[in-house]
Amino acid sequence: MPYLFTSESVSEGHPDKVADQISDALIDNFLAFDPSSKVACETLVTTGQVVLAGEIKTDTYLDVQKIAREVIRKIGYTKSEYMFEANSCGVFSALHDQSADINQGVDRKVENNDFETLANAQGAGDQGMMFGYATSETDNYMPLPLDLAHAILREMSHIRNNESDLMPYLRPDAKSQVTIEYSDDDQPIRIDTIVVSTQHDDFADDETMLAKIREDVINIVIPRVKAKLKPELHGLFDADITYYINPTGKFVIGGPHGDTGLTGRKIIVDTYGGKGAHGGGAFSGKDPSKVDRSAAYATRHIAKNMVAAGLCDQVLVQVSYAIGVAKPCGLYVNTYGTSKVDMHDGAIAEKIAQIFDMRPYAIEQRLKLRNPIYSETAAYGHMGRKNEVVTKTFGSNGKTKEVEVELFTWEKLDFVDKVKEAFGL
């Protein structure tokens, strides 16, 4: 029987995403000047105020106020009427040293610096379970509802920042939601509902404003999103789509002034839009010794390579850890009955565990996670993104440093051949 599935996204100006971007900017700056930094940084943003709190072990000094203001300015909070503005907001720092009791389980002194010694010495930064998911329904192996929800807001952000004459009233805060009808064999049939709520300048006439925003989203944004999709998906956009555009009727008060934002409060937006599963741990503000982040990336890497290898059409991968212990407690695989090999999922999991070393140090090395690569993850999802090499510039204490880094390494299909070989595909 056909069914409906919904995913949402939020823009870089959403208050929770503002918090995520500040936390990850701090991570990047710490790692740029001290790659061994251990950081857990939480951010709170509200009317005219930013609060930074967390635990840090590092050999570098940062002007955290300057970094936070740069992030806010880049997002677009640059006008006093927003009641949250880069130059005038207060930035309060309550960052302090990391607990030595926690650190001793992650940083153990070793005599030999060979890979095996280091991999066995570095324990997980916390207990918990992490999930990765992939599906063949899109080119980037992501669930289609989430992919479209992200695409709508990315297009609106592009218009706001680069073609503002098209929709000159746009402000930074926005949310989207896409509901897709699937067939009983899990194939997308059509888009049922699209919801967009965007912050906007004040209008003299609310009814005229609402009609204008609705018209622009349907006639400017949606066609641009559709044009960037592969042709076989164009048919999902039919005349029967239900649109809810700013359904409350007005959205002038927004951003951190309209809703307090916190790091890590959009973990479903960050991952798979509700498909598969989530272990509950946030990503932003955490260095890669925290397996909440690194192991979630590693399981996505596994899942994507499994589907790309033709082993299955969709898969959920779980890994779990005990704090301070390098070896995972277990690896679980669920192919949802789509496996192309004559093996139970438990047997598939055993083979996968032999291909991918899931000890925290091994994950850090394989995915190059001790580099300043995290600011780019903090809006529009950590998964399904473009793997590319970029040069980033950082400044601290009067010093400037350029770093060439590879972004979204967990999206690489570099283990496809190994998966094929192991399963005889």
Is residue 47 within 8 Å of residue 257, measured between CB atoms?
yes
What one-character-per-residue DSSP string does 245-296 give? ESTTS---S-HHHHS-EETT--HHHHTTTTSS---S---TTB-TTSHHHHHH
Per-residue pLDDT, 97: 80
> How far lies 6's CA from each of 20, 174, 178, 269, in Å?
23, 17, 6, 12
Per-residue pLDDT, 220: 98
Fold of 15-117: GMP Synthetase; Chain A, domain 3 (3.30.300)
Per-residue pLDDT, 399: 80
Provide the annotated binding site for L-methionine: 55, 98, 259, 290
Low-confidence ranges of the chain (pLDDT < 50): none
> How far lies 124's CA from each of 1, 107, 129, in Å?
43, 10, 11
> How far lies 22's CA from each of 58, 60, 184, 263, 424, in Å?
18, 18, 42, 9, 46
Residues of CATH 3.30.300.10 domain(s) within the chain? Answer: 3-9+145-254, 15-117, 128-136+266-277+289-423
Per-residue pLDDT, 1: 83
Is residue 328 within 8 Å of residue 362, measured between CB atoms?
no
Per-residue pLDDT, 114: 81
Own/partner pairs, 202-208, CB within 8 angstroms, 24+ separation: 202/252, 203/169, 206/249, 206/250
Is residue 195 within 8 Å of residue 177, measured between CB atoms?
yes
CATH architecture of 128-136+266-277+289-423: 2-Layer Sandwich (3.30)
Per-residue pLDDT, 99: 57
Copy the structure tokens of residue 207: 């009814």
Calculate the CA 414 to chain-centre distance.
21
Owner of token pair 């029987």: 1
CATH code of the domain made up of 3-9+145-254: 3.30.300.10
Q: Which of 322, 326, 294 is nearest to 122 (CA)?
A: 326
Q: Which of 251, 171, 177, 245 is nearest to 212 (CA)?
A: 245
Q: Give me the chain's average pLDDT, please.
A: 94
Element (H, E) at 370: none
Is residue 24 within 8 Å of residue 379, measured between CB atoms?
no
| Gap between the Cα atoms of 266 and 274, Å rounded | 11
Per-residue pLDDT, 103: 53
Q: pLDDT per residue over 138-180, tens digit each?
A: 999 999 999 999 999 999 999 999 999 999 999 999 999 999 9
pTM summary value = 0.95
Per-residue pLDDT, 398: 78
Is residue 392 within 8 Å of residue 332, measured between CB atoms?
no
Per-residue pLDDT, 106: 60
Alpha helices in 271-407 (DSSP H): 291-308, 345-355, 360-366
Provide the annotated binding site: 14, 16, 42, 55, 98, 173-175, 250-251, 259, 265-266, 282, 286, 290
Per-residue pLDDT, 117: 85
Q: pLDDT per residue over 240-291, tens digit each?
A: 999 999 999 889 999 999 999 999 999 999 999 999 999 999 999 999 999 9
Per-residue pLDDT, 16: 98
Main-chain dihedrals φ then ψ at residue 158, nearest 5 degrees: -60, -45
Per-residue pLDDT, 98: 66
Per-residue pLDDT, 39: 94
